[in-house]
Structure 1
Amino acid sequence: MIITLNALNVMTASSLSFLTTTSPSSKQKNKLNQLWGEVEKKQRCIERYQAKLDDFYHDFKASTEKQECAVCRATEKWIHHLLSFIPRKTIKGPQREALYDWIQDELTILESNPFNPVESTALREAFNQSLLALPSNKADVDVMTEDQIEALREEMFMMLGYEIDISCDELMAMMEEPQKFHDYLQSVMAEQKQEEHTAEDDIGWGAENFFSQTNGENYFEPSYHQANDTLYSDKEIIKLYFQLAKQLYLDKETGEDEKSEKSALMQQLSQAKKDKDVAALFILAQQHLPDHEMMMDEGILEPLTMALTEKIGQLNREYQELQHSNDLKSLIWQRFGGCNKAARQKGLREYRAHLQKESQDLLAQCQEIKTVKQIQQRLKQRMELSYFDNPYF
């Protein structure tokens, strides 16, 4: 049996044609044609949706990134302004905690903005230095009371988000030289980050079961693995792979754009080989080897049918994941893209106006709030709002 990949370009019921030496049944023909048509349909849906996300993200950046950056710059100024109130001794107790929380909130908002041009690490360092410069942190260790030590621990907890694991004596000794305490905090934070990375690397994925079960469903049955191995070891599939590798060979190109394109295609080919994804090979072949012919005996039909069936399931999952992804492009589309073009443009205009007002408000606050009394009034308002949001905390 001969399957011509040239025929795969035809988006009709005869998208697979057979030149017979041993002719398969019409039922087998129809099944393969139906499956291949579904593969191409799903592939086109994914490509169109991804192109829509890419285009809208490009438009968003071009029209709105400037305003996003302006908000970040204004937030930076506002954080510096809030930091200037940390040394004020008349800000005490719950109000001081509210001030620290406010700074933490603003830092978190700034760091979570994907368009943030501000070096937020330097802002956090300024926050740390402001805390270390407090008079209580420079007190004579001989006169520091237990209450002062516990207050310092609480300040460090609010700053770091976790308790520091050192004794009272060690803490008092560090207070003699704040720089040593600062160095200690930096080492603790670095160690915590390292532990987080190590924990991610050591996650157990269930080895042999990870690819066999997902949410209780067996997407990759043993029979599929066996059939796929049989199909991918077929001499015609191997021949197709090497023909594609030859066609997509990077060094044949002289232009940088062409080399970049070929490099991306070679990565697709390598991934298809790694995944034993025959349908992906066919898709590449129909684009880059339109005249290639494959002679496949009838024993390959069943594995090929199973491979195309699995490919359809895989493409369905990819499409669902793309629609509900948490990556930046998807989130922007989910926020602004669910309408017609006119509504999307209106939504973006309103959002830009909102960003512009937010920037102006932040800068205005820097000018308006000059005294301790004024910041205390704002802190009181934040504490009241926090109480009504969480009356039991």
Structure 2
Amino acid sequence: MNNLVVTPLSIQATSKPSKSGWGRVQKLWQQIEKRQARNQRYDEKITNFLDQFRLELEGTEQEVCAATEELIAHLISFISRKSIKGSMRDTLYDWISEEFDLLEANPFRIKSSEPLREQYQAALSKAHPEDEAYEPSKEDYDLVRAEVSAITGLDIDLTDEQLKEMISHPDSFIQYLESLREQAAKKEAKSEDGADFDDDTFSFFDDEEDEPWFNEADNDISALFENKDINKLYKQLARQLHPDRIQDTEKKQQHHELMQQLSQAKKEKDIFGMLMLAQTWLPDFEMNLDEKALNGLTQNLQQKLDQLEIEYHQLKAGPDLKSQVWHRFGGGNKNSRKKELEDYRLGLTKEAQGLRDKIQSIRTVQDIQLVLRQRRDRFKPMFPSFGGPIDLSDIDEFFDFFD
């Protein structure tokens, strides 16, 4: 057996465990501590940089948002003009949608865009109450059947009315397509094998030379968590940290957070996290680990080390705001970062002024028609008309043809 004791600095062996196994545990423990410290320093660094960014540039970012909102409201005011129709009207709607996308993608936006969107929808309803939903023809439905048949290899046994009803309820239509795919898969299986097979028809263990399906390392980790002293460690920590034992309000909150850490460590099977808590709250706690459990401890610590490396790369290029801001502006030295932030601030100021200049330049229907014509000629339509080929790989786009 390997007798280990928790101390304020690490875990130590009190007997003579496997030299190679124990040496590996000590090395992993030290590496984990180093990577935790590195990740914490890096996180503090990029968090402080985000604070600096907010202090210097958040107000300017919000100026761009405000100018974008003003432009959207201004464009909405032209929806009621009956002389803007056809492709020009579609271009206007596309422009408004584009500005909404830019506004809502800005993480520094402080106002909800919902009131503005409601204003947009109200303007659409008021300006075009006579517009009716497009009514597909028989040829349109035949085209849908042909497209779906080409994808599934099966005939679509639905009347026009049934197809129309399903198209009106996308979830039902998707379920129907899934059922067709399942039918196609079963049909193919029968044609190849001549009969259906149950899941138990074949056994993974018929051939004694087959490799086991499980990972031996995972088995060792399971042995670690089945160790009675590991379970005892958790129970004693839970008893020591439980906030119900504390009367002082401030300390109760601290113990509540510590209990959350312990619960998270148990959930994630993070032995290192449990032992770190034990260093403070259960010093001199002794554990007995057999060789298999010691191997499980080694594997568990290696997983923790790998996870810390993943977290480090996520900090460097993750989806959260502080990582994105650092990735965009954090390169180079302090002076170069300062210059880049200043250049960016000037660019934002210019962008906000440009949006307001655009509003001032569009005062009449003639003004906006000129701009819409330029936009229409510059950008090609993103999707084909209903009469063109339908790509069912994007079901949302498909349903748009029936709006």
TM-score calculated relative to the size of structure 2:
0.68
Match of 2:286 among 291, 294, 309: 294
Q: Deviations over 1:290-319 (max 9, x none)?
A: 733323244332222222222223333333
> Superposed, which structure 2 residues align to 1:1-393 within 5 Å?
1-6=2-7, 9=9, 16-20=11-15, 23-134=16-127, 136-138=128-130, 150=134, 222-251=215-244, 252=246, 254-256=248-250, 258-286=251-279, 288-289=280-281, 291-299=283-291, 300-387=293-380
Following TM superposition, by how much is the alpha carbon of 1:326 offset from its aligned partner in structure 2, in angstroms? 1.4
In structure 1, list runs of 5 or more residues that go unmatched. 10-14, 140-147, 152-166, 168-187, 197-219
| SS of residue paired to 2:111 | coil
| SS of residue paired to 1:276 | coil
Matched-pair contact (CA < 8 Å) for 1:71–1:355:
yes
Partner AA of 2:22 in structure 1 = K
Taking a change above 3 Å as real, the CA distance of residues 272 and 66 of structure 1, as seen in their structure-2 partners, is same
Give the structure 2 partner of residue 202 of structure 1: none
Taking a change above 3 Å as real, the CA distance of residues 357 and 295 of structure 1, as seen in their structure-2 partners, is same
Partner AA of 2:7 in structure 1 = N
Q: Deviations over 1:217-247 (max 9, x none)?
A: xxx9543333223212323222322333344
Matched-pair contact (CA < 8 Å) for 1:2–1:293:
no
1: distance between equivalents of 2:86 and 2:370? 14
Following TM superposition, by how much is the alpha carbon of 1:99 offset from its aligned partner in structure 2, in angstroms? 0.6
Taking a change above 3 Å as real, the CA distance of residues 234 and 101 of structure 1, as seen in their structure-2 partners, is same
Partner AA of 1:76 in structure 2 = E
Following TM superposition, by how much is the alpha carbon of 1:353 offset from its aligned partner in structure 2, in angstroms? 2.0
Taking a change above 3 Å as real, the CA distance of residues 149 and 269 of structure 1, as seen in their structure-2 partners, is closer
Taking a change above 3 Å as real, the CA distance of residues 316 and 346 of structure 1, as seen in their structure-2 partners, is same
TM-score calculated relative to the size of structure 1:
0.70
Partner AA of 2:268 in structure 1 = D
1: distance between equivalents of 2:318 and 2:247? 36
Give the structure 1 partner of residue 400 of structure 2: none
| SS of residue paired to 1:296 | strand
Q: Which has the higher contact order (CA 8 A, sep 6+)?
A: 2
1: distance between equivalents of 2:322 and 2:238? 32
Q: Deviations over 1:6-43 (max 9, x none)?
A: 26x2xxxxx543222xx124323322211212222222
Count of aligned positions:
312
Taking a change above 3 Å as real, the CA distance of residues 122 and 192 of structure 1, as seen in their structure-2 partners, is farther
Matched-pair contact (CA < 8 Å) for 1:76–1:118:
no
Q: Give the CA RMSD over aligned residues.
A: 3.3
Further displaced range: 316-325 or 357-366: 316-325
**Percent of paired sites with the same residue:** 38
1: distance between equivalents of 2:265 and 2:170? 38
Taking a change above 3 Å as real, the CA distance of residues 247 and 349 of structure 1, as seen in their structure-2 partners, is farther
In structure 2, list runs of 5 or more residues that go unmatched. 136-159, 161-167, 175-212, 386-403
2: distance between equivalents of 1:315 and 1:116? 32
Give the structure 1 partner of residue 153 of structure 2: none
Partner AA of 1:17 in structure 2 = Q
Structure 1: 4+ residue segments shifted above 6 A = none
Matched-pair contact (CA < 8 Å) for 1:16–1:32:
no
Matched-pair contact (CA < 8 Å) for 1:229–1:276:
no
Give the structure 2 partner of residue 179 of structure 1: none
Partner AA of 1:4 in structure 2 = V
Q: Deviations over 1:193-224 (max 9, x none)?
A: 9x99xxxxxxxxxxxxxxxxxxxxxxx95433
Q: Deviations over 1:231-275 (max 9, x none)?
A: 12323222322333344333526355x555443332221011122
Q: Deviations over 1:64-88 (max 9, x none)?
A: 2222222111111111100111111
Matched-pair contact (CA < 8 Å) for 1:244–1:289:
yes
Matched-pair contact (CA < 8 Å) for 1:228–1:276:
no
